[in-house]
Homo-oligomer: A and B are copies of this chain.
Amino acid sequence: MTDAQPTRAQRREATAARILEAAQEEFGTHGDGATIRGIARRAGVDPSLVLQHYGSKQALFALAVRAVDDLDHDDVPRHLEEVLDVRLRELPAPTRALLRSMLTSPQAAEVMSTYLQERAATLAATMEDDRADTRAALVVASIMGVTIARHFLDLPGLSDARGSDLAELVDRWLDTGPDGPTPER
């Protein structure tokens, strides 16, 4: 167990972390339209302190959104599983923040694009046909779409579907390659 009397530096680091968490939550709820004041309120702190810790709203936003990458680099297989898992009840706050703001913030869009490209490349490596790149891109984009529909749009048929059903159907799609069934039309 740690010190019962946390040192000043520890306290500082703790509130910094609390602010970052609050930022991820706020960005995850309001997208890049979240406000410094809102973040500060959620962290129980003065707005000015947020900037003293992270410099600017831009910098904090970049950090909140890039946390996804860090997770990725730390533990690749586990994170891949998490993101691919449509059964996930609630998305991690950084992921929510990234998804939520990717359509209104060019910065977030680029992070998401890079992330999807990595995922697609990994997936394409397990495929053999010549159109693997396009197929892999389709798969990751589809999973993103399902994730959005489920967590942000509350689309009936997804948000109330049994998780296992979704996973099974997505699995089936994943395996539908050029050697799969050919539509008649």
Interface residues on A, range: 35 or more
Among A123-157, those with CB < 8 Å from B are 131, 133-138, 140-150, 152-157
CB interface residues, A 37-79, toward B, < 8 Å: none
**A144 x B137 contact (CB < 8 A):** no
Copies in the complex: 2
Which B residues are in CB contact (< 8 Å) with A158?
134, 137-138, 141
A171 to B150, CA, bound (A): 23
Given A145-B147, A176-B180, 9 additional A-B pairs, CB 8 A: A109-B152, A117-B157, A131-B165, A137-B156, A141-B155, A142-B173, A145-B148, A174-B183, A180-B180
Hey, which bits of chain A sit against chain B, CB under 8 A?
Answer: 30-33, 99-104, 109, 112-113, 116-117, 120, 131, 133-138, 140-150, 152-158, 161, 165-166, 169-176, 180-183, 185
